[in-house]
Amino acid sequence: MKRADAGVAGVARVVRGAHIGRIAIAVLTLALVVSIVLASGIGPTAIAPSLTMRIVLAHLTSGTQGVDAAAHGWTASQDAVVWLIRLPRVLLAGIVGAALAMVGVALQAVTANRLADPHLLGVSAGATFGAVFATLFLGAIFGPFTLSLLAFAGAAFATLAVIALAHRQGRLERDRLLLSGIAVSFVMLAGANLLLYLGDQRAASSVLFWTLGGLGLARWDMLAIPAGIVLMGGVVLMGRRRELNALMTGDLAAVTLGVNVPRVRAEVFLIGALVTGVMVAVSGAIGFVGLVTPHACRPVVGAEHGRLLPVSALLGAVLLIWGDVLARTLIAPEDLPIGVVTALVGGGCFVALLRVRG
């Protein structure tokens, strides 16, 4: 009788969790759309949300004909600010935020460590090293994919180094993982500074961009690659949601459930390195999004990755969009590096979560 009651209670929890997950996805999707519209109108030149929506809809429905701003009732400068400057930046912020949040969820699962994220594990620093190397010494040797390829190579190298350092007697030790990530991060950032010293001294601003992060370079023609990578990474990770659920309980429990732990872990680390590398190539290194977002979502939707991954992606997109709004308005007309904003806000939120959850 007790077993039957426990089974019924377990099914009820699953159904309730799925229901809450659907509600959270619907609410966050609406919040994402509203955030895109509002954020596209915020700046030194304020534009009303209704006008922002009209400009965007006009461009979406105009096809190849273009938009005659005067005929629609707004100025050419308003049209350019919304369509050419702010909207690509807002969309890039959403893409990067979703990517970092998903990678943070996946890394925390395969390492069974709630403090894992691309920034703390040295993956972002490795991607930064690759991007700096490409900027200073390679130029566009591989065409428009040069930065992404080199950032991915740096992220993959850093990931392999962290895994190798964290392994002991054939087992991945969680206590060594973060220490290894911090060590590799310091080495990679030191390497990036060394490249700057040996390379063109006029490239200091570029290195500062990769180190602190920024979305000011966003353009329509650069959104396709990160958007495609995020979509691909999300599909792969959602396909591994059951394995990620099992890995959260530890390697031994995952093996008893039939999970090929080394293969799944290698796949997730590879996807994490690829997604992080591409994001760093277009936005620089941005920390704390992948760390804080999963912690904020788990109390609401639980730890089941079929719900946690999409909810974290949506929340990460919303958070980074508004983080970018702060970055470009706090000291307007100058832009703060968005990595500084996410570190300040994310660090404060993480401290608050620690205090609330004990």
Report which of residues 313 and 12 the model is more confident about: 313
pLDDT at 312 over 90: yes
Which pLDDT band, with edges at 50, 70 and 90, does 320 fall under?
very high
pLDDT number for residue 325: 93
Please report whether residue 69 resides in a domain. Answer: no
For residue 358, give the DSSP letter: -
Please report whether residue 21 resides in a domain. Answer: no
Q: Which CATH number does the domain housing residue 184 bear?
A: 1.10.3470.10
Report which of residues 344 and 319 the model is more confident about: 319
pLDDT at 10 over 50: no
Please report whether residue 77 resides in a domain. Answer: no
CA dihedral 32, 34, 39, 41 (to 10 degrees): 150
User: Identity (one letter) of the amino acid at 307?
Assistant: R
Token pair for 336:
């703060």
User: Identity (one letter) of the amino acid at 331?
Assistant: I
* Core vs surface per residue 276-312: b (16+ CB within 10 A) or e: bbbbbbbbbbbbbbbbbbbbbbbeebbbbbbbbbbbb
Q: pLDDT tens across 232-247, in order?
A: 999 999 999 999 999 8
pLDDT number for residue 13: 55
Work out how many domains the chain is built from and give that number. 1
Instruction: Give the mean pLDDT of 3-30.
Output: 69
Please report whether residue 279 resides in a domain. Answer: yes
Share of the chain above pLDDT 70, in %: 88
Instruction: Give the mean pLDDT of 117-131.
Output: 85
Cα–Cα distances in Å, from 279 out to 1, 159, 167, 285, 349?
53, 16, 27, 8, 23
- The residues with which 171 forms a beta bridge, in sequence order, are 168
User: Identity (one letter) of the amino acid at 303?
Assistant: A
Please report whether residue 61 resides in a domain. Answer: no
pTM: 0.88
pLDDT number for residue 90: 96
* Core vs surface per residue 38-58: b (16+ CB within 10 A) or e: ebbbbbeeebeeebbeebbeb
Q: Which of 139, 147, 188, 181 is nearest to 163 (CA)?
A: 181
Please report whether residue 349 resides in a domain. Answer: yes
CA–CA distance, 107 with 269 (Å, rounded to integer)? 7
pLDDT number for residue 5: 45
Token pair for 346:
């994310």
pLDDT number for residue 353: 65
The whole domain housing 228 covers: 89-357
pLDDT at 348 over 50: yes
Cβ(118)–Cβ(107) below 8 Å? yes
Q: pLDDT tens across 60-117, in order?
A: 888 656 787 888 788 889 888 999 999 999 999 999 999 999 999 999 998 887 878 8
Q: pLDDT tens across 251-260, in order?
A: 788 888 888 8
CA–CA distance, 74 with 62 (Å, rounded to integer)? 15
Which pLDDT band, with edges at 50, 70 and 90, does 8 fall under?
very low
Q: pLDDT tens across 195-241, in order?
A: 877 776 666 666 677 778 888 888 998 899 899 999 999 999 999 99
pLDDT at 140 over 70: no
Mean pLDDT, the chain, rounded, equals 84
Can you give 193-244 as a three-state secondary structure string?
HHHHHHCCHHHHHHHHHHHHCCCCCCCHHHCHHHHHHHHHHHHHHHHCHHHH
Please report whether residue 38 resides in a domain. Answer: no
Q: pLDDT tens across 36-65, in order?
A: 999 999 988 889 999 999 999 988 888 656
Please report whether residue 49 resides in a domain. Answer: no
